[in-house]
Structure 1
């Protein structure tokens, strides 16, 4: 009896010790859990902000570029997803998601046991919350320390955010392969549609990819991806999200994947994107770093077809040399910039010549001079003598002797219509001095050019302007005199869809509509070989390419070549030249014109052939362009020309004496025209120590 009693006592003691040990363990576990939960609670909510790439969209909604290392990522809410997406994700990844507290002890225990048996850490047991925590804060290293930190972050997430918020964050951050982060990017990548519109079969296919983005990608191995899709459909049926019949029907659905080449975001218009980023930096509180990592959606005004063609033409026409290019295309009706090229090779030089460089515009500035002349009482038939001329100014202390290209002069009187078409420099300078040098300065400022200095050579574009400013300055000529600041951005929205910025500059009436129309009608003559006389029209080499009513002006200096022209729907400006002081040759001087003509014709091929809108206050007369008189049988083949109301000629070619009355008196005549009207201007606003330099001011047109 005694030994039995002793054995009982020993067993009782052991049981009591074991109970005490278990109790102590439980108390320690409880205390540790309390400490852990208190610690995580004290830590507060972890930051859930992550770098989201800013996305640039063309005017048609296509992607033209992404910031942040080329990642493709969007943020959407659960309401913006098809309900099958969260259901499929929960069914395959974490069926107890809505009942656990961030981790699943049963799954963890099973994973630990499997890892012990296999001798490695290959088996995972991460819940959706843990995966989300890892995506936000941790690496993917398979270490116990990483798993511990993952657990801590998971607890903090569960304590501070709802299950729906966690699931939303997970679905927006998980990687689906091919650069796509989040369900919306994946849906667009594989199916070309929003996550809101995917079918059950598509949702199951997408939900199977994150397990192994390369391994289960339907682009890499469709049979393997299909097998996982079917597994997910069965899992959804087993947990009651769908019926088995629905699962079987979804398995039969033929999935239509988007072609990979079609979905890869083409990085086009890098100079354009740089300028858009600079505008947002200037106009909002987003600095450059935040612009690229805040997940902004920037809808631009860029036309991807015109931009792609512009870049193609630059590649085609630009010679294999250091010759550079700048190009801008603007819709004059609303100011939207449809294309921009800032150089021949962005990788070689990110300097944006279209917006940052300033170059002498040459004869492309003349339209604004002739606008001022029309406003001062000139007409398209006003005449000056085209001959070699030296102009003195600054009270006779300085002399300016511009020349025409190849020293070709009419040695006769020519009309303004001819002067525009031939780009006659002598006519331009005489006009400039006749109306007063301040007039061109004033018109230039009205259309956004300048500031300019009053000097004779300004008539020939001897002061620099930017390519975008000059191109935009032509818009009022195309749209009835209205000026709009170039618009690159339609809207900028943040990740919540809230409007952050939109570019809505004011519209200003800067030119008289009737005068702008008369000037435009003259500038169409640049492309009319019928006007050829002592020389050829400057746009004759590309005239046959143009199928729509088009006006324009070419210009050149020893170091610059320009072509700016417009239809009622589009203004295009092209500049070519060298970055450093190097002159262009005759062959290189034609490149700008060829790029311009090819791009204009491409851009207009599907547009209506709209005439420039004739305003009130304009009349037409059929004129002999060489005499400036009404055409008749004696002077057949006249040109219908626009005039301001009441200024059209009333005399015909049959009255030679009338023609003489319209001509200026020769300069060498005592007290002649120039003595009476050119008071040989001193340059009041200029720097007398810097006289006009012939090399900079020579104007030449090369055809």
Structure 2
């Protein structure tokens, strides 16, 4: 009876307040219990799901704690507004914070039913309750927001009066429709409209609106998927109420009620998190990349909250066509449960935009199915996984530095199958390298011979590069590697680093090789271009971070060398695509991981396969069955190469036909250029043509030939031979006379015979 007296006192006090007073005036001295409450309740922003889009604006993932998308009232259909008002608070626009009629009616009903506290709340009071529950941070606060007591009703009334004083009815209704729970994980009317009917809230019709309006009273009990009969009955109650209030005719209500609720549903689930994304490991990379950016908050916790509740729009660089190609290629050659991990990354040169990331082990916790949450294709700080040794893909750093230092591309080095090189022959940044005194015993898997920078690189000759490193030193190639995004740990800065260091990953290698494709312009990998807040305002535009780390001419020379790998005779000839491309293989010791890094001027791709057993231990690929095929001995060209080839062939149609720029003979020492065929030209014209091609011209004198007198009879070397920039081409001028053959018995021959054989092809690249 005491409780009843308190409520009656409150109601009496409310009745004493002028009708409009509850709209514009705070409830002063309504009850002693209300005096202790704050005069108003802060309505914090509602959590909204974050959406991640690909480069073409396609949704690839959503992140949320609550599936909600806030919409303004004008973006909610009028039938929906009318339905919710009709069933929840039909006099909403006529009364103040408290609907006295409804409260008194509910009070009498509650007393007749044993004193339960149900019903009678206005939309404003319901919005207050939802706000208190949403903003509760402790179990006690959550319990207080939902307890069935008059004390809770009094609190809600106090705050409702303040809301009515400080906000319009439309603002209150808008917040109510956005905060309300509609069941099956859908918070707010927009998420509910999409989930149950696959449409936006602004497009809801009468039947759909009545269904949703009926759900807020009991979202679980009236769930149209699990409880279609109860949901349909509740929907019909709403339609009857709308007819009773004159919102629609009774005839129309009866016609609408005849439609089974199942016929109106078009369920569309809203995937949550990266695991359900169309590109799970790219999504995971984006999340971890943004978690390190202070634009989303000062702490990791604040940034994570912003990602899951901030309603952000994240525009990324992924191309779903390229992602599909990457996924298909990797999954074709490496199966999830193989004792191996396959991975691939695609990066756009001159921007660093990450176009695709794929790996053979799917995202998930089922280890028996080969699933994992470790992202093996990105650096450890973004994927939590250790990397793999990248083998001979690292040789390009010494190659590029050798060109920077002016070492001619035609430089020939005798490279035995194995050799011992003393530590002191390698210079680091502080002087001679001080190793363990045992030197480096380096050997080849590609035989022996004499190689220049073209053939030594194309055949990936270890002893050639070990000796080349003694010429360049270790310091500058290591610095260049760092400038290209590959930082070698201090402990691994030893002469053999050029055969690959541990903890490398496909993204790192792809962005490094993209530097060559971009003619020496290195760009940091960029997965995100823009982040917008929940209001569509730009939080941050992520600009490209690029720096010229080598002369364009140096990159041109590297490209010219590496394109030979893709041409007949090169290790990559069987995976070459229909666009100009260049590449490099990588195979580490014991064949535990193999690589193929290749690129066109428009896209750089690195593919990798590494041996790994079910215990997470690295193992040799030799003797393994991977992708359904047995591997006797693993090499970059035969195991990783086909992944690269399939992926690049699939995206080739998206690429323009762009060729690499030829290395300039006047800037790069030893650039190999084909000798122009100038036979039959005047000496002046031939000299001009040869010098323009970068050659030094010498006069070889006259020779007898059928070519016109005074014209060039031939050159040495002959036209088509590949020479280095600055090499000498000798011109032989025709006398225009061919002597008759000697008569029988003559002992002499033509002393001026074709002398071009002696010089030979000094810098040949026959293996291209």
TM-score for both structures, normalised by structure 1: 0.73
Q: Give the distance between the partners of 1:457 and 1:137, measured in 2 at CA.
A: 64
Counterpart in 2 of 1:328?
345
Q: Retained in 2: the 8 A contact 1:187–1:193?
A: yes
Q: Give the distance between the partners of 2:409 and 2:250, measured in 1 at CA.
A: 83
1:303 to 305, 312, 319: 319
Determine if the alignment matches structure 1 residue 506 to structure 2 residue 545. yes
Determine if the alignment matches structure 1 residue 132 to structure 2 residue 127. yes
Q: 1:251 to 1:336 in 2, by over 3 A?
A: farther
2:292 to 282, 286, 290: 282
- Return 106-115 or 555-564, whichever deviates more: 106-115
1:436 to 435, 460, 473: 473
Determine if the alignment matches structure 1 residue 595 to structure 2 residue 635. no
1:228-243 to structure 2, matched below 5 A, reads none
Structure 1 residues not aligned, in runs of 5+: 1-21, 532-536, 625-629, 664-703
2:148 to 143, 154, 160: 143
Determine if the alignment matches structure 1 residue 657 to structure 2 residue 758. yes
Q: Retained in 1: the 8 A contact 2:319–2:356?
A: yes
Deviation at 1:270, TM superposition (A): 4.3
Q: 1:655 to 1:259 in 2, by over 3 A?
A: farther
Counterpart in 2 of 1:585?
622
Q: Retained in 2: the 8 A contact 1:441–1:452?
A: no
Determine if the alignment matches structure 1 residue 400 to structure 2 residue 400. no
Q: Retained in 2: the 8 A contact 1:517–1:612?
A: no
Deviation at 1:480, TM superposition (A): 2.8
1:554-703 to structure 2, matched below 5 A, reads 554-558=585-589, 559-577=592-610, 578=612, 580=617, 582-585=619-622, 587=624, 589=634, 591-602=639-650, 604-614=651-661, 617=664, 621-622=673-674, 646=725, 655-659=756-760
Deviation at 1:607, TM superposition (A): 0.8
Deviation at 1:169, TM superposition (A): 1.6
Q: Retained in 1: the 8 A contact 2:40–2:159?
A: no
1:79-228 to structure 2, matched below 5 A, reads 79-114=74-109, 124-138=119-133, 143-144=148-149, 147=153, 149-190=155-196, 192-196=198-202, 206-213=212-219
Q: Deviations over 1:495-546 (max 9, x none)?
A: 2323223322432222333332332233233233x21xxxxx3334534xx3
Q: Give the distance between the partners of 1:507 and 1:538, measured in 2 at CA.
A: 31
Counterpart in 1 of 2:44?
48
Q: 1:231 to 1:58 in 2, by over 3 A?
A: farther
Q: 1:152 to 1:313 in 2, by over 3 A?
A: farther
Q: 1:158 to 1:23 in 2, by over 3 A?
A: closer
Counterpart in 2 of 1:375?
404
Determine if the alignment matches structure 1 residue 293 to structure 2 residue 309. yes
Deviation at 1:156, TM superposition (A): 4.6
Q: Give the distance between the partners of 2:594 and 2:241, measured in 1 at CA.
A: 68
Counterpart in 2 of 1:553?
584
Counterpart in 1 of 2:487?
450
Q: 1:25 to 1:124 in 2, by over 3 A?
A: closer
Q: Give the distance between the partners of 1:183 and 1:226, measured in 2 at CA.
A: 18
- Return 348-357 or 195-204, whichever deviates more: 195-204
Q: Give the distance between the partners of 2:664 and 2:103, measured in 1 at CA.
A: 86
Q: 1:493 to 1:268 in 2, by over 3 A?
A: same
Counterpart in 2 of 1:347?
364
Q: Retained in 1: the 8 A contact 2:345–2:506?
A: yes
Counterpart in 2 of 1:459?
498
Q: 1:345 to 1:661 in 2, by over 3 A?
A: closer
Q: Give the distance between the partners of 1:188 and 1:258, measured in 2 at CA.
A: 10
Counterpart in 2 of 1:417?
454
Deviation at 1:341, TM superposition (A): 4.5
Determine if the alignment matches structure 1 residue 72 to structure 2 residue 67. yes
Q: Give the distance between the partners of 1:344 and 1:114, measured in 2 at CA.
A: 61
Q: Give the distance between the partners of 2:401 and 2:265, measured in 1 at CA.
A: 56
Q: Give the distance between the partners of 1:127 and 1:61, measured in 2 at CA.
A: 41
CA RMSD of aligned residues (A): 4.7
Deviation at 1:441, TM superposition (A): 2.0
Q: Give the distance between the partners of 1:171 and 1:637, measured in 2 at CA.
A: 81
Q: Give the distance between the partners of 1:28 and 1:81, measured in 2 at CA.
A: 33
Deviation at 1:474, TM superposition (A): 1.3
Q: Give the distance between the partners of 1:340 and 1:24, measured in 2 at CA.
A: 64
Deviation at 1:489, TM superposition (A): 1.7
- Return 615-624 or 370-379, whichever deviates more: 615-624
Q: Retained in 2: the 8 A contact 1:488–1:503?
A: no
Q: 1:538 to 1:616 in 2, by over 3 A?
A: closer
Q: Deviations over 1:405-462 (max 9, x none)?
A: 2xx41x4333433333322222222322233333322321321222577643233224
Deviation at 1:363, TM superposition (A): 0.8
Counting matched residue pairs gives 620
Deviation at 1:51, TM superposition (A): 4.1
Q: Deviations over 1:655-687 (max 9, x none)?
A: 443237669xxxxxxxxxxxxxxxxxxxxxxxx
Q: Retained in 2: the 8 A contact 1:379–1:647?
A: no
Q: Give the distance between the partners of 1:549 and 1:520, measured in 2 at CA.
A: 10
SS of residue paired to 1:549: coil
Q: 1:338 to 1:251 in 2, by over 3 A?
A: farther
SS of residue paired to 2:542: coil
Q: 1:124 to 1:447 in 2, by over 3 A?
A: same
1:470 to 509, 520, 533: 509
Q: Give the distance between the partners of 1:91 and 1:493, measured in 2 at CA.
A: 36
Q: Give the distance between the partners of 1:384 and 1:638, measured in 2 at CA.
A: 24
1:482 to 521, 528, 547: 521
Q: 1:308 to 1:176 in 2, by over 3 A?
A: farther
RCO higher in 1 or 2 (8 Å CA, sep ≥ 6)?
Answer: 1
Deviation at 1:315, TM superposition (A): 4.8
